[in-house]
Amino acid sequence: MSFRVLAVVTLLSCAGLFTFLSARYDVVQDDAYISLVYARNLANGDGLVFNPGERVEGYTNFAWVLLLAVPHALGLNAVVAARGFGMLAAAGLLLYTWRLATRLSSRPRDPTHLAAPCLLAANGALAFWTLSGMETAAFALLVAAGAARYLQRERLDTAVGVLFGVAALTRPEGWMFFALTLGHQMVRLLRDADHRRLSLPGLWVAPAWFAGIVLPHVLLRWLYYGQPLPNTFYAKTGVSLTHLTHGLRYTGDFFIDYGLWGLALLALAVPLLRARTRSRAAYLTLLLLANVGYVTLVGGDTLPENRLYLPVVALLAAALVESARVTLLRICGRHLAPAAFVLLLAAVLVVSVTGPDADLLHARSASLAHNAKLHELADFANGAGVGMDLLASTAIGIPRYRTQATVLDLVGLTDSMIAHHPQQLPGIHDDHILRNYDVTYVMDRGPDAILFITGLRPGTPAERALFLSQRFRRDYRVTYLQDHRPLYVRRGGPPHQESLFADGHFVECYAEALAVMHQDRARAMTLLQESIDVGPPDFAMPHCWLGRLFYETGDFEQATSHLRRSLEVDDTIVMAWAHLALIRTMEGSGEEAVTMAGTAVELAPRSHFCRYVFGRALLSAQRPAEARRELALAAELGGAQSTDALYRLGLAAEQQGDLQAAGAAWTTLLGVQQDHAAARQGLRRIAR
């Protein structure tokens, strides 16, 4: 087989594998919609803004935003376009990885260099982010292209300056990679007499082009946004023990997944020790180690699956291939080395594909669930008519892209007040990279709805700190987009006066209790009681959760006591009404249960559980027609009680004498749960 045929077959195989992995891990990230919002507003003439009228640079990918403005201006589907741009960039990256490997090697035409794009094709994290709608693959391509051009010419030139200049517009790290390239060139100039031909005037060609590309953007930022750095820098960047801990964990995960458990860095020593490749290997090593240091110090990423390391995976692949080629040639000899190399490559590819697979699938599922919550929030806001003009959350892309509402970012990525003037409250642990918040400012703006992406459990410091606000506790209540998708909505009436509780320890107890509830019920109950003891008297949720936990243990007396206490504090606690109604139904107090369940449904009409409890209470109160309506809605909404809702729907139809409907409900139930004895008995009963 000729080298050309081998190259074509290998690259086509790489494309096939990468396409398969991209489809396997396919999900669009919410953060991609932030860029899409800016791009749409730019195309529509509203400017480079997230919310019209608010000049805040809540993005770090200027060139990507400009690119996405094009499909918006042409009336095309910009989400599809962003994903298409990502695939094109990934295809280019595979080719440039091969070129990098040949530029690094002392034998550039050796066919073993085709292994480098194979390593990238098997990189599931790259596949995960390529179709994410974000700039990750494009930035990685620009870095690889700039590095390959520099290694090819062994000097800075116009193309190097342009490539790294566009990279710096695509991600801020582009500045770092160009500065390191310039530094490497200057060291070579000073240390190697063979490179004296690189005159100082020639050394400044690339920096001039780089500056000509990036400095206008810096000036634009200063004039348009009034800040020297992106707003996101002020909102989340920092160096602290928390950042370092997160960063070390993030870096360790990357090297376990794609760095041969850290051995990849040691492999760089092979080309570094060889005189013929030392300078080029030192350059790639410099870029790799600088990226490791940067990512570790800034705390890694709030997004999953190695995103911040993908810009250097092409460099790492090139170095690994050259190291393996040289090492196996010395160990195995010229005749056995190719076979050994193929076997080693096959083993590495299998590990690369299968090792992180479960984590990538989990990340995809989590991202899909995350997005589903945001799409439901957008649907809720769009269907609410008037009164949903301001939404607040820590996940903001999809709600802003899909609604006309203004969206307030609780952690300040797209809000300059929170980013530049964060409020620190006692007792709130800043154990998160996104640690900024300003509760008073958020409550002054009065969002119509506030979504916690983790559900009822407040995750970030910005979410936990809200509970210290009297206005939040008294002016907002919980409804449900679905049972596991709660939403805080503003109550009607005049707002309360603000008073911040003195210490946030109570909400830290509350948040921890919700986190451990399914693993350690006793610990959760202790934490909830502590939250009650040290917290403000108008915080009703711990009482409700204690009541629900006692209900699950069968202690209805204690459950009733805590549930009623929660309603004495706040009569809009949905699940307190629903669980009390369920208890009263089981105790035979049908009409009282109907009233309670009806209140729960009024507060949360989209809740499967509330509809189920209402239907069950109506059935117990001998009101089968109304029960059928509620139980059918409960089954349609779906949830933990779906099978029981179908069974009781059949009972309600049977009570009305509608045996055909009863049979249909029970048959549907048996299609879901074949061993449901009561449904089978019901079918036999109506068949007589």
Tokens 């570094």 — which residue? 272
Residue whose pair of structure tokens reads 């190259």 in the numeric block: 7
Give the total number of structural domains in the chain: 3
Distance from C-alpha of 627 to C-alpha of 611, rounded to nearest angstrom = 9
The domain boundary, picked from 500, 518, 547, lies at 500
Question: Sorting pLDDT into bands at 50, 70 and 90, what band is 651?
Answer: very high
For 308-363, how does the pLDDT look when each residue is reduced to its tens digit (9 = 90+)?
999 999 999 999 999 888 888 888 888 888 899 999 999 999 999 999 999 999 99
* Start-end of H helices in 455-504: 461-466, 470-475
Q: Is the predicted pLDDT of residue 384 greater than 60, yes or no?
A: yes
| Residue 239 sits in the same domain as residue 302 | yes
pLDDT (average), residues 147-166: 94
The CATH number given to whatever domain includes residue 627 is 1.25.40.10
Confidence of residue 278 (pLDDT cuts 50, 70, 90): confident
User: Is residue 506 included in any domain, yes or no?
Assistant: no
Q: What is the Cα 48 distance to its own chain's centre?
A: 23
Q: Is residue 204 scored above 90 in pLDDT? A: no
Residue 195 has pLDDT above 70, yes or no: no
State the Cα–Cα distance between residues 350 and 116, nearest whole angstrom.
15
How many helices and strands in the chain, by DSSP H and E? 34, 5
pLDDT winner (highest mean) among 41-45, 382-386, 637-641: 41-45
Give yes or no: residues 288 and 433 share one domain: no
Residue 620 has pLDDT above 60, yes or no: yes
Answer yes or no: is 282 within a domain.
Answer: yes
Average per-residue pLDDT in the chain? 93
Q: Which two tokens stand for residue 180?
A: 């390191």
CA angle 79, 85, 86 (to 5 degrees): 90
Kindly state whether residues 92 and 110 are assigned to the same domain: yes
Token readout for 331 is: 């160990």
Distance between CA atoms of 538 and 569, rounded to whole angstroms?
6
Same domain, yes or no, for 310 and 399? no
Of 233-242, 535-544, 568-577, least confident by mean pLDDT is 233-242
Chosen domain end from 447, 468, 500: 500
Domain termination residue (choose one: 472, 500, 528):
500
User: Of the ranges 262-276, 346-360, 518-532, which one carries the lowest mean pLDDT score?
Assistant: 262-276
Q: Is the pLDDT of residue 498 over 60?
A: yes
Residue 489 pairs in a beta bridge with 449, 477
Residues 124, 84 share a domain: yes
What pLDDT is attached to residue 385? 64
**Element (H or E) spanning 417, and its range?**
helix 416-420
Predicted confidence at residue 110, as pLDDT, reads 87
Confidence tier at 108 by pLDDT (50, 70, 90): confident
Whether 567 is covered by a domain: the verdict is no
Decide if 643 contacts 635 (C-beta within 8 A). no
351 and 372, same domain (yes or no): no
Largest distance between two CA atoms of the chain: 102
Residue 548 resides in a domain: no
Spatial contact of 665 and 646, defined as CB atoms under 8 Å apart: yes
Lowest average pLDDT, out of 14-23, 89-98, 227-236, 626-635, goes to 227-236
Higher-pLDDT residue of 435, 397: 397
CA distance 157 to 174: 17
* 288 and 380 inside one domain: no
Helix axes 574-586, 590-603, angle to 10 degrees: 160
In a domain? residue 554: no
With respect to residue 182, please indicate whether it lies within any of the assigned structural domains: yes
DSSP state of 53: T
pLDDT recorded at residue 202: 61
Same domain, 19 and 48: yes
Q: Do the Cβ atoms of 188 and 143 come closer than 8 Å? A: no
Confidence of residue 592 (pLDDT cuts 50, 70, 90): very high
- Within 10 angstroms of residue 195's Cβ, the number of other Cβ atoms is 15
Q: What is the pLDDT of residue 502?
A: 95
The owner of tokens 């709600």 is 399
Instruction: Specify the 3-state DSSP secondary structure of 485.
Output: strand
105 pLDDT above the threshold of 90: no
Domain interval for residue 625: 572-687
CA distance 514 to 484: 13
Q: What is the mean pLDDT of residues 19-37?
A: 97
Pick from 485, 136, 509, 106: nearest CA to 304: 136
> Residue 606 contacts by C-beta under 8 Å, 6 or more apart in sequence?
479, 480, 481, 482, 637
DSSP one-letter code for 35: H
pLDDT at residue number 201: 55
Please check whether residues 331 and 309 belong to one and the same domain.
Answer: yes
Query: What are the b/e assignments for 246-276, b being 16+ CB within 10 Å?
Result: bbeebbebbbebbbbeeebbebbebbbeeee
Q: Which two tokens stand for residue 19?
A: 């396409």
| Co-location of 344 and 383 in the same domain | no
**Whether pLDDT at 386 is above 80:** no
Q: Give me the percent of the chain exceeding a pLDDT of 70.
A: 98
pLDDT at 47: 96
pLDDT in tens, 129-141: 999 999 999 999 9
Report how far apart, in Å, the C-alpha atoms of 21 and of each of 51, 328, 360, 514, 555 are: 36, 29, 10, 35, 50
The answer to whether residue 183 is domain-embedded is yes
Structure-block tokens of residue 604: 């949360």
Residue 595 in this model has a pLDDT that exceeds 60:
yes
- pLDDT tens for each residue of 36-52: 999 999 999 999 999 99
Verify that 392 and 292 share a domain, yes or no: no
Higher pLDDT, 153 or 75: 75
Q: Does residue 654 fall inside a structural domain?
A: yes
Query: Does residue 199 surpass a pLDDT of 60?
Result: no
Are both 334 and 435 inside the same structural domain?
Answer: no
